[in-house]
Structure 1
C-alpha cells in the first residue's frame, strides 16, 4: 500500500497552508519501523545513488509498483512499501543512498524467495547489505551462534532485556552482514523497532567508513604540505629583500590554493562521516545494550574497530583546517613584510624625486639670473639703437650715455618681473 501521509493533512478552518506543511508534518513519521513477527528474515540493501541515479531508481520502482497493481510513491514521497513474493518490500530514498528492505517468513532454502533476482534493477553501487534473522530463543544460546566467527562475535541483551542480538560484523556466503535476534514472546512492535535500529547501526556504520579511504588518501598530501610550510617558515627567518619575500609569498599562495582545494573536495564526505557516526552512537544508545558474560559487546567492538577510523577522519579534517590557518598567518606576515619594503622603496623614490626637483629648481634659478642678464643686454641694445636714431635726427641725445643710463632700470624691472612670475607660480 502507498504511504500517503501527506494526503492526510487537512485544511485547518479552511486556511491556506504553507506548501511545505504536509512535508514538515510527515517528516515526524518518515521511515517508521514495521511490525515483525517471529520467525522472520529481513534482507536490507543500501545503494549509493547520486541525484541522477536516484531519479532513475524512483522511475524503476514506480514501474515495479505498477506491475504489482499498486500505485507508486509519486514525486515527493521518499518511502514506500508493497507486498511482494509473500513478504514486504520497503523502498526508502535518503540524501546520498537508497535502501531496499525485504522481510518474509523463512523458506526451505538458504534465503527466502526475494525480489532481488535477475529482474531487479540495481540503482547504484552496493554499499551495505544486512541480513537479520528474528528467531525464538534457543534452548542453548551457543547453538544459535554457530554461523558466526567467534573471534569477532558480539552478543548482548537489548530492548530492556527482552531480546538477545548477535553479530560478527562479517559477510556471509551471500555477501550479507549477519545479525540474529532471539526473543521470548518478543512483541512485533518491539521486534520491529529493534531490528530497524540494528540495521541502521550497520548501514550508517558502513557509510561513515566511506570517509576513511578519503582520509588515508589525503594523509600524504597533508603531510607534504605541512613539511613545505615548515620549510617556508624557516626560509622567512633568513629572507632578505623584497625579491626573496615575494618568492616565498608566491609559494605560500600556491600552498594555500592547494589546501583549500583539497579541503573543499573532502568537506562533504567528512561532514557526512561525522553525521553518520553520531547516528550510530545514538542508535547504540537506543537499543539499551546489556553485556552478556563471556561475549564481546556491540559497543566495545565498535569502539575498538570503528572508533579509530572515525578519529582518523576527524584528525585529517582538523589538520586541514589547522594547516589552512597557519598558511594564512604566514601569508599575512609575508604580505606585511612586502608592504613595508614597498613603502620603504616608495619613500626612497620620493626622496630621490624631491632631490631631483630641488636640483631642477636651483638650475632654474640659475638660468633665471642668466636670463635677466641676457634680456637686459638686448633691451639696452634696443634702447641704444633708439638713441642713435634720435641722435641722427638732431636730438641732443648721446647713444652711449642713454644706453648706460638705461641699464639699471632695465635690470631692476626685469628682476621684479621674474619675481612676480615666480610668486604667482608658487601660489
Structure 2
C-alpha cells in the first residue's frame, strides 16, 4: 500500500496554493543589463487576448507557450528574456537583455509588430551597470528637482531615478552594482520596477477623489440645509418632501461610494506594496539626496490622504443621511398615525350618526308598514258582510293597531338580526 500524503486525494486548489510562492521567481542578473517594463490596464477579455497573442508568438518562434489560464510566462526573445504577467487590473511585459546606459537596443519585443492589450499605464527603463564614479557623476543626466538616490542591499548597490520620462517615453531607473551578486541584483531590479508600477497605479485614486469632492461638498451643504428645514418643518406633506430629498441625496452618495470603492481600495493596497518593496530593498539614504522613501512619502502620502479623507467623508455622510432619514421617517409615521386616528374617529362618528339614522328610519318604517297593514285589515272588515259576518270596521281596526305594530316591529328586528349575523360571518 502506498504510504505518505500522496495516497490522499488533493484539494482542487492545493497545487495552485503551493505553486503561488514560486509563481514570480527573481531573475538572476549581472551588469551591464537593460530592462524595459510596460504595464497596460486590462480587463479579463483583454488579458486573455494578450495571452493568446503571446502564445501565437511563442508558437511561431518554437518557444514554450503559456497555459490557457497562465498568469505569468517567461521566454527567451530578441536576445533577452520576456516576462509576461497578468494582474487583477493590469498586464505587464518586462524584457531584459545585455546593455547599459545609452540608446535603446535596436531590436526589442515592443516594436511596431507589438499589439498593446490595453491603455499604457507604466513605461520604465532600468539600467543595471557597474560604475565606481561619484554619485554626482552618475546622476548628472537626471532632473535634480525630482531626483531620488539611495543605497540598497547593505550598500552594495546604488539606486537612482527622477521619476520623469526620457525622450523615448520611459521613466529612467538606474541601479549601480557595487558588489552585488547575480542573486541580489535580480530582486533589486524587480522590486524597483514594482515600486514604479505600483506607485503609478496608487495615484489613480487621486483623480477620482478630486472628481467627487464637489459632489460630496454639495451633498454636505444640502444636508445642512435640510437639517435646518427639518427642525422647523410642520405638516405631513412638507416632511414627505424633505424625506424624498434626503433619499435622493443618500442615493447619490451611495452611488459614488460604490463606483469608487474598488479604486480607493486598490490605491491603498498599491501604496502598501510600494512601502513593502522599499523596505525589502534595505534602503539607506545618501547625504545631500532624497531617498526613494522620503521622495514618495512627500509626493504619494498627500494623494493617499486625500483618497482616504474623501472615502471617510463618504462613509460619514452616508451614516448622517441614514440617521436624518430615520428621524424624518419617524416623524412622518407619527403624523400618519395621527391622521389615521383622526380618520378613524371621523368614521366612528359617521357610523354612530348612520346608526341613529337607521334606527329612526326603522321606527318610521314600522309606523308606515303598520299603517298600511291596519288599512288592509280595515278593508277586509268592511267586506266581511259578503261572508255573512257583520263586524264594526272602526272597532276591529282599532283593536288591530297594537298587534299589527308589534308584529311589524318583531319582523323588522328579526330581519335586522339576520343581516347583522351574515355581516359578522
Say yes or no: TM over 0.5: yes
- 1:163 is aligned to 2:163: no
Match of 2:181 in 1: 187
Deviates more, 1:341-350 or 1:392-401: 392-401
Q: Which runs of 5+ in 2 are unaligned?
A: none
Tell me the distance in 2 between the aligned counterparts of 1:384 and 1:84: 128
Does the CA contact (< 8 Å) of 1:42 and 1:103 recur in 2?
yes
SS in 2 for 1:122: coil
- 1:141 is aligned to 2:135: yes
Pairing 1:368-387 to 2, within 5 Å after superposition: 368-387=362-381
Match of 1:410 in 2: 404
Match of 2:211 in 1: 217
Taking structure 1 as reference, are residues 33 and 108 closer, same or farther at Cα in structure 2, changes over 3 Å only?
A: closer
Match of 1:281 in 2: 275
Could you tell me the TM-score, scaled by structure 2's length? Answer: 0.92
Q: Deviations over 1:173-222 (max 9, x none)?
A: 22222222223220111111111111111100001111111111111122
Does the CA contact (< 8 Å) of 1:263 and 1:320 recur in 2?
yes
1:203 aligned residue (189, 197, 200): 197
Q: Deviations over 1:280-305 (max 9, x none)?
A: 12112211222222221111111111
Tell me the distance in 1 between the aligned counterparts of 2:120 and 2:81: 21
1:116 aligned residue (91, 106, 110): 110
Q: 1:228: how far off?
A: 1.7
Q: 1:391: how far off?
A: 4.7
1:226 aligned residue (203, 213, 220): 220
SS in 2 for 1:253: helix
Tell me the distance in 2 between the aligned counterparts of 1:394 and 1:74: 125
Match of 1:304 in 2: 298
- 1:78 is aligned to 2:71: yes
Q: Deviations over 1:66-111 (max 9, x none)?
A: 2322121121211111222322111111111111111112169522
Taking structure 1 as reference, are residues 121 and 426 closer, same or farther at Cα in structure 2, changes over 3 Å only?
A: closer
Q: Pairwise CA RMSD of aligned residues?
A: 2.1
Does the CA contact (< 8 Å) of 1:136 and 1:182 recur in 2?
yes
Does the CA contact (< 8 Å) of 2:34 and 2:100 recur in 1?
no
Tell me the distance in 2 between the aligned counterparts of 1:45 and 1:376: 108
Does the CA contact (< 8 Å) of 2:132 and 2:178 recur in 1?
no
Pairing 1:308-323 to 2, within 5 Å after superposition: 308-323=302-317
1:32 aligned residue (18, 25, 30): 25
Tell me the distance in 2 between the aligned counterparts of 1:356 and 1:306: 74
Number of aligned residues: 417
Pairing 1:339-350 to 2, within 5 Å after superposition: 339-350=333-344
Q: 1:15: how far off?
A: 4.9
Tell me the distance in 2 between the aligned counterparts of 1:292 and 1:108: 22
Match of 2:38 in 1: 45
Does the CA contact (< 8 Å) of 1:128 and 1:206 recur in 2?
yes
Q: Which runs of 5+ in 1 are unaligned?
A: 1-10
Taking structure 1 as reference, are residues 371 and 107 closer, same or farther at Cα in structure 2, changes over 3 Å only?
A: closer
- 1:257 is aligned to 2:251: yes
Q: Deviations over 1:339-369 (max 9, x none)?
A: 2222222222221111111111111111111
- 1:150 is aligned to 2:144: yes
Q: Deviations over 1:217-248 (max 9, x none)?
A: 11112211221222222222222212112222
Taking structure 1 as reference, are residues 119 and 376 closer, same or farther at Cα in structure 2, changes over 3 Å only?
A: closer
Tell me the distance in 2 between the aligned counterparts of 1:180 and 1:73: 31
